[in-house]
Chains A and B, each alone.
Chain A
Amino acid sequence: MSGHKESILREPLITGRDITYAKITDDILMPVENKPNRAWWIGFIMALCGATLWVVAVSYTFWFGIGAWGLNKTVGWAWDITGFVWWVGIGHAGTLISAVLLLFRQNWRNSINRSAEAMTIFAVICAATYVVSHMGRPWLAYWVLPLPNQFGSLWVNFNSPLVWDMFAISTYFSVSLLFWYTGLLPDIATIRDRATGVRRRIYSIFSLGWSGSVKTWQRFEAVSLILAGISTPLVLSVHTIVSMDFATSVIPGWHTTIFPPYFVAGAIFSGFAMVLTLLLVARKVLGLENYITMFHIESMNKIVMLTGSIVGVAYLTEFFIAWYSGSEYEQYAFINRSTGPYWWAYWMMMTCNVISPQLLWFKKIRTNIPATWILSIVVNIGMWFERFVIIVTSLHRDYIPSSWAMFYPTWVDVSVFVGSIGVFFTLFLLFLRALPSIAIAEVKLLLKSASEQSKMEEIREGHLNKEYVAEYIDSLNKFDSVKQEEYAKL
């Protein structure tokens, strides 16, 4: 892959001068091999407080019952399944980046895939906690697994989307974990080789005897490709199946065939937004600006814009179809969404998910880090509201008007959700300390072909089309990690 020279028109994926393989290793392993800085501690303590809140709220729920939440006879799911779908959606970017972009040979994924996959795994863990904690009798959660049992011929209901869900989520989790861990092997071996004492022994065990031989590398590449192949359908299947929890029901506002593609687009949308939220901070705090460049940020923003637009089209299509269907229940469900008692949630969703990503058409905004960061958070707020709108506003006024009800969250509902964010960040911050947040080996692949310094070398050699070079230099303007003066000298 690194044999050929990349076109000068392509923007560099690694910026900075004097980048060597060794420097890459040093830069990326800086947080792993050194004591944490203040920023990490502040973040970690806050996250830990959140995680503690989660433990308290979930324990409270387990002790007293689901009644601790604000649910009622009409609205049987609210913040719980909203949170579940939100987390599963966030978990989507990881696989997309690691598998789909790998198959499409999008090399820029190499700098972000590790963190994105870690995020996927932690998000799916958060989602899975909801699967168990929303049950009335969580101690029997294993009954949804098709296990041989002594209860007679009791089996699970293969008609139920919840069973499909259980398969989808567990498959997704195990494949993602496997993919992530496989990718980690050469990097863990790198840490092992540089470590001493107990650390060395631990990393030694987890590196599974990685020797770095050509054969190992060859097998590694083959396994990565196979896993990418297995994961790719999962990108589509997981959220398709999650959407079927709703789409296969009879509730107006849920019973919608557009849900699978709409949910998948929404999931990628929110997943990329979350990657942005995390990496924009991580790159600054961990000093990784040379590896996660403006090009990466802009690329991700483009995906956010595209998927955001798909989601917007889906929202409008739903409305159109509700009108076109002629079904009074369906029509009412959608009118109620936009003008009923939860109108504010609907317009929150529309603003955050449809209007705000359109700002990314402007390059100024797309390449502005604070603006991007704020937008990425806005998108995830919007996506939370999307699930809330789908779940709560559809349920709260369905067929029989006598049962129409409102849903009001309790402190436990809020704490479980806020707490799950704490759990997520606790895990993510621990990950940053224990494992390289960028795939070292994969980034190294890009050094000779797609780094700024290699391109500069080419320019110096002077065999390139002048116009192209000028365009290239022009494209570097947006990079916050590139010093323009040096190009002026050329």
Chain B
Amino acid sequence: MESNKKYWKGLEELNRTPDFVEKNKNEFAEPLPIEDVLSEAGLSTVTPRRDFLKALGFGLGAVSLAACQTAPVHKSIPYLIKPEEVVPGIPNYYVSSFNGQPVLVKTREGRPIKIEPNPNAGGFFRGTDAQAQASVLDLYDVSKLKNPVLKNAESNWAEIDKFVTSELNKVKASGKKIRIVSASVNSPSARNVIADFTGAYPNTKHVQYDAVSYTGIIKANENSFGKAVVPKYNFDKADLIVSFAADFLGTWISGEEFTAQYVSNRDMKSLKNGKMSRHFQFEAAMSLTGTNADTRVPIKLSEEGPALIALYNALTGAGLSGGTLGNNTVADKAIKLVAKELLQNKGRALVVCGSNDVSTQILVNAINSAIGSYGTTIDLDNPCKRFAGNDAEFAEFINEMNRGEVGAVFVLDSNPAYDTANAKGFADGLAKVGLKVSFADRADETASLCDVVAISNNYLESWGDANSYEGFYSIVQPTINPVFNSRQAEESLLAWSDAPVKEYYQYVRNYWEANILPAAGKTWADLLQSGVINTPAKPAGSYTFSLSLSAVVPAVLSNSKSLAKDIELIVYESAPIRNGKYANNAFLQELPDPVSKVTWDNYIALSPKFAEELGFKEFDVVNIKDDKGYSIDLPVMIQPGQAKGTAAVALGYGRTKSGKCGDGVGKNAYPFTSFTNGTTKYTTTVKLSGTGSREELAQTQTHHSFEGRNVIREATFEAYKKNPAAGSGNDHAKHKTYDLWDKYEKPGNNWVMAIDLNACTGCGSCIVACNVENNIPVVGKDEVRRRREMHWIRIDRYYSYNVESGHDEEGAAGSGGKHSEHSAGISSVTKEKEISHLEEKDMNDVSVVHQPMLCQHCDHAPCETVCPVLATVHSSDGLNHMAYNRCVGTRYCANNCPYKVRRFNWFNYWNDSRFDNYLNNEFTQLLLNPDVTARSRGVMEKCSMCIQRIQAGKLQAKIEKRPLKDGDIQMACQQACSANAIIFGDGNDPDSEVSKALRSERVYYVLEEINVQPGIGYMTKIRNTGTTVHA
């Protein structure tokens, strides 16, 4: 039943008085003055006091409410229409290439955050170098220009195009020359674009030069064999490697690849087969390669030529004059030994030389021919295409400009106003050019001299390709839309040459579909999946050097003679920031030099005794002055192994317009180079004088000897062959240890690691890989100087001196047989106090060992017991966890860590304007890996064994309903390592790679005697010293 009960509100309603009925018709009890207001009269109606107050109240309230809106406006892009392939939280990988190295680009939610090696690459492209790892930071560099620049003012592409085409037409009409100057271009499509451009403007010539030039090798090969190429070197096929100052594991040609080749004859697999290559290094400055040599002989720069002549004479029995090494008896003896061994290893040996002098390289060709390298260790038929620079053409180009013959210059991927011997000549000449266009991404030294800066894309925003070797092609594909208003250089050139296809994507695709893909039988889609096309290599021909050396030898000798005065200086490519191109990359600036461990600076390296003789102490700032009058002030770095009488300074520093991170870091050493005999020469003579000031370099390691501690264990190859456990401490019974603690149960996985000290070359790409993967802050020079760098993995580098026994027994005896039993009569001195008493003759033979050091994930971790708040605890899969949120920052754990691998956030590095190296802006923060927390100040951190990767791997296996496979999970450091020196995996799985590795007789655990039960096993360093060469 429906309730019809009605309640009345008053007697009026009950009685329904006429008055009430009338009023009830209206919605409001009192009539509203709407009509009045709307009519003309409204304006003149008297507003009652109450209405006024109401209006006032409402108005005030409304305004205050509106003003109370404090929520900041976030401009976010909703996934209203979700891109098909983007799943938040799941990374996407794209194949690409960096400097010709095939890579995988990891993107998250559309932004590239990490570079990884492309597993399809094949060959010896196993890891990536530090520069590739760090390159992703360049994408988010705030020092870049955001819009193209026309005559020093921001502009737009329509105006730029209008200006450039009209100017180009003027130049074309005038008949003046057009020059495209660039670093070596190894992209086939780009070369084709330049060819098309040349077609449109026939006066165009492409001038290639490299800041660190290989013209000497190219010219020498042209001279010797009629092939103007950088050959393909096969270090993997060489059982004996002799290098004259070629830093082939570091900066020379293709360090990462050579590392993989080199290590394949020296790592644990090779050793297990009883095989290890032998490596001699003759050099003045201690290079990364020199630190890895079995026998390293310091020679002066002026002795390099005579040494090569002596070697040639010894090999061939020729009697070329000048092959005497004067009083460097050690080198003399070494050359004879090398010659003997080279002849024994004919066809399995390789001699390389870092010189850029054509005559010297011809001599090296003759030597290689004599030992049968061509066709085996040197391949001239599948040459390396990375370098094609021609120093002479570049020098001529400067002359052309200065003569006023050039109407237009396009600067592509190079910075000649900074990185050339004659930068001033270039700048002067450029001023006489009508149209100056730079494709730089920032107003660098050269771009700031140009009319137009047609900002080009970062490679992560670009289409493109690379051709590292004959027949080996890789693709570059964009992983993000251009962040700024930039346009790829190739696209700009296409636009200006009015090419039929203006879109570079289509252009590249057309080029590949026409020229590369059909031959390989692949499609464009295949290419985008695999990233590389590797056409079968041509058979490497055997070449014989048959020319006369009569013209070469005098040139080599006169070059040597010109260096034999004052102090011989070599300028070399910096290992972290290379030729200066990466100067604004904070990760690379903070990556310590693999040898000196110096960050954020260059310096002058002098040998200990030589510095003492000159009266300089470490960090004294000295003035370096050459014949031409160029001088710079740099602090002294004492470098063991540096040849006496020589000095070394790194290139790539002293940039003035690289950006906020790289400007003013170090001093520019390019003016010390010169254009001599058709190539750029990187050696000169200088005078040094003290300035009286002192500047402490920011080093990540300041103690350089391992004090005879068994932290480092090594053996000679001879000893290893007799007993694989030699030097590892495994060949006698181990001390039994007892525990107070319960053993941890590790029911599932037990994550452990093995590090092969014989594979690790110390290059440091793992450090940068770890930095990028784990959001590790860059702290800057001052903080590094205060010993506060945050790197989770570091490479410890120790020097020891090999002296004749009997000279200093104490040195070798201290550690009770833990040392390598050197060849008879030689012992190594590793203690600081003994080193300080060594005489000069004993300081030439320096051995170096590199030891990657990271959290050892000890089973009995000393850090865990001391944390008052349980912020660092052990997991059931063998890891030592760090709960940042729980950490209160007592630093007790770091104090109690015997390996000193814990890192403390002394400041809020990622958000403190005093440490604005790169990350203190919202844009660059896009680089951060969203899987890893950015740590706040006051919190301890350390290697987590890439726990995010472990979790992701487990998750993936779970989704696919399968158990984890060995190799599913890779550490960032492991992945980047070209040498395969780091192996990670499950120790509970007896068949895993890491378990197999850890069963090696060479394995030892650092500081195992204090029973912290570390989870990382190291394999002994083996040196193939053979017969030693002591004076």
A-side residues, CB < 8 A to B, are 64-67, 70-74, 76-77, 134-138, 140-141, 143-144, 154-157, 159-163, 166, 245, 248-251, 328-329, 332, 395, 397-406
| Nearest Cβ on chain A to B779's Cβ, whole angstroms | 9
Given A65-B908, A65-B938, A401-B709, the answer on whether A249 and B896 have CB atoms closer than 8 Å is: yes
- B703 and A404 contact, CB distance less than 8 A: yes
Given A136-B887, A137-B887, A400-B853, the answer on whether A76 and B866 have CB atoms closer than 8 Å is: no
- B705 and A67 contact, CB distance less than 8 A: no
In angstroms, Cα B814 to Cα A159, docked, is 36
In angstroms, Cα B701 to Cα A404, docked, is 8
In angstroms, Cα B958 to Cα A62, docked, is 45
| Nearest Cβ on chain B to A308's Cβ, whole angstroms | 28
- B896 and A402 contact, CB distance less than 8 A: no
B907 touches which of A64, A166, A406 (Cβ 8 Å): A64
In angstroms, Cα B708 to Cα A397, docked, is 14
Of the A-B pairs whose beta carbons lie under 8 Å apart in the complex, a sample of 10, sorted by A's number, is A66-B938, A73-B787, A136-B887, A136-B937, A137-B936, A157-B865, A157-B867, A250-B898, A251-B896, A402-B701
- B899 and A157 contact, CB distance less than 8 A: no
Given A64-B907, A66-B906, A399-B711, the answer on whether A140 and B888 have CB atoms closer than 8 Å is: yes
Given contacts A328-B815, A399-B1007, 18 further A-B contacts (CB under 8 A): A65-B907, A67-B907, A72-B786, A73-B789, A155-B870, A160-B865, A162-B890, A245-B892, A250-B1010, A328-B708, A332-B707, A397-B703, A399-B898, A399-B900, A400-B1007, A401-B703, A401-B705, A402-B794
Would you list which residues of chain B between 746 and 803 have a CB under 8 Å from chain A? 783, 786-789, 794, 796-798
- A144 and B702 contact, CB distance less than 8 A: no
Interface residue? B868 (CB, 8 A): yes
Interface residue? B891 (CB, 8 A): yes
Would you list which residues of chain B between 837 and 892 have a CB under 8 Å from chain A? 851, 853, 862, 865-870, 886-892
Q: Enumerate chain A residues within 8 angstroms of B783, measured Cβ to Cβ.
A: 67
- A402 and B787 contact, CB distance less than 8 A: no
- A144 and B869 contact, CB distance less than 8 A: yes
- Beta-carbon nearest neighbor of B1007 in chain A: A399
In angstroms, Cα B890 to Cα A161, docked, is 12
Q: Enumerate chain B residues within 8 angstroms of A143, measured Cβ to Cβ.
A: 868-869, 886, 888
Interface residue? B979 (CB, 8 A): no
Q: Enumerate chain A residues within 8 angstroms of B227, measured Cβ to Cβ.
A: none
B-side residues, CB < 8 A to A, are 701-703, 705-709, 711, 783, 786-789, 794, 796-798, 814-815, 851, 853, 862, 865-870, 886-892, 894-896, 898-900, 902-908, 912, 936-940, 1006-1007, 1010, 1012
- A250 and B888 contact, CB distance less than 8 A: no
| Nearest Cβ on chain A to B596's Cβ, whole angstroms | 13
- Beta-carbon nearest neighbor of B914 in chain A: A64
Interface of B, secondary structure class, is loop
Q: Enumerate chain B residues within 8 angstroms of A328, measured Cβ to Cβ.
A: 708-709, 814-815
- A156 and B870 contact, CB distance less than 8 A: yes
| Nearest Cβ on chain A to B229's Cβ, whole angstroms | 42
- A71 and B906 contact, CB distance less than 8 A: yes
| Nearest Cβ on chain B to A334's Cβ, whole angstroms | 14
A250 touches which of B798, B814, B862 (Cβ 8 Å): B862
- Beta-carbon nearest neighbor of A399 in chain B: B898
- B862 and A66 contact, CB distance less than 8 A: no
- Beta-carbon nearest neighbor of A151 in chain B: B886
- Beta-carbon nearest neighbor of A64 in chain B: B907
In angstroms, Cα B709 to Cα A328, docked, is 8
Q: Enumerate chain A residues within 8 angstroms of B898, measured Cβ to Cβ.
A: 250-251, 398-400
Q: Enumerate chain B residues within 8 angstroms of A72, measured Cβ to Cβ.
A: 786-788
| Nearest Cβ on chain A to B1008's Cβ, whole angstroms | 12
Q: Enumerate chain A residues within 8 angstroms of B786, measured Cβ to Cβ.
A: 70, 72
Q: Enumerate chain A residues within 8 angstroms of B903, measured Cβ to Cβ.
A: 73
Given A156-B870, A250-B862, A398-B898, the answer on whether A137 and B904 have CB atoms closer than 8 Å is: no
- A73 and B889 contact, CB distance less than 8 A: no
- B866 and A162 contact, CB distance less than 8 A: yes
Q: Enumerate chain A residues within 8 angstroms of B868, measured Cβ to Cβ.
A: 143-144, 156-157, 160, 162-163, 166
- Beta-carbon nearest neighbor of A66 in chain B: B906
- B706 and A401 contact, CB distance less than 8 A: yes
| Nearest Cβ on chain A to B811's Cβ, whole angstroms | 14
Q: Enumerate chain B residues within 8 angstroms of A74, measured Cβ to Cβ.
A: 787, 900
| Nearest Cβ on chain B to A473's Cβ, whole angstroms | 58
- A160 and B867 contact, CB distance less than 8 A: yes
A73 touches which of B851, B862, B904 (Cβ 8 Å): B904
| Nearest Cβ on chain B to A254's Cβ, whole angstroms | 8
- Beta-carbon nearest neighbor of A407 in chain B: B787
Q: Enumerate chain B residues within 8 angstroms of A251, measured Cβ to Cβ.
A: 895-896, 898
Given A137-B938, A160-B866, A248-B866, the answer on whether A77 and B895 have CB atoms closer than 8 Å is: yes
In angstroms, Cα B899 to Cα A249, docked, is 13
Interface centre among B788, B797, B853, B870 (most CB of A within 10 A): B870
- B869 and A157 contact, CB distance less than 8 A: yes
- A137 and B891 contact, CB distance less than 8 A: no
* 9 cross-chain pairs, A with B, having the tightest CB-CB distances, nearest first: A136-B889, A136-B938, A67-B906, A402-B796, A76-B891, A403-B900, A72-B787, A162-B868, A137-B938
- B892 and A402 contact, CB distance less than 8 A: no
| Nearest Cβ on chain A to B812's Cβ, whole angstroms | 14
- A136 and B867 contact, CB distance less than 8 A: no
- B702 and A404 contact, CB distance less than 8 A: yes
In angstroms, Cα B890 to Cα A71, docked, is 12
- B702 and A405 contact, CB distance less than 8 A: yes
Q: Enumerate chain A residues within 8 angstroms of B787, measured Cβ to Cβ.
A: 72-74, 405
Q: Enumerate chain B residues within 8 angstroms of A166, measured Cβ to Cβ.
A: 868
B894 touches which of A73, A144, A332, A399 (Cβ 8 Å): A73
In angstroms, Cα B939 to Cα A154, docked, is 18
- A76 and B904 contact, CB distance less than 8 A: yes
Q: Enumerate chain A residues within 8 angstroms of B902, measured Cβ to Cβ.
A: 73
- Beta-carbon nearest neighbor of A69 in chain B: B906
In angstroms, Cα B866 to Cα A406, docked, is 24
In angstroms, Cα B888 to Cα A65, docked, is 12
| Nearest Cβ on chain B to A326's Cβ, whole angstroms | 10
- Beta-carbon nearest neighbor of B830 in chain A: A401
Given A143-B888, A404-B702, A405-B702, the answer on whether A136 and B896 have CB atoms closer than 8 Å is: no
Q: Enumerate chain B residues within 8 angstroms of A140, measured Cβ to Cβ.
A: 888
A395 touches which of B866, B895, B905 (Cβ 8 Å): B895
| Nearest Cβ on chain A to B592's Cβ, whole angstroms | 11
In angstroms, Cα B78 to Cα A225, docked, is 74
- B866 and A144 contact, CB distance less than 8 A: no
In angstroms, Cα B870 to Cα A143, docked, is 10
In angstroms, Cα B886 to Cα A67, docked, is 20
- A136 and B905 contact, CB distance less than 8 A: yes
In angstroms, Cα B868 to Cα A134, docked, is 14
Q: Enumerate chain B residues within 8 angstroms of A160, measured Cβ to Cβ.
A: 865-868, 892
- B866 and A161 contact, CB distance less than 8 A: yes
- Beta-carbon nearest neighbor of A159 in chain B: B865
- A402 and B798 contact, CB distance less than 8 A: yes
- B896 and A135 contact, CB distance less than 8 A: no
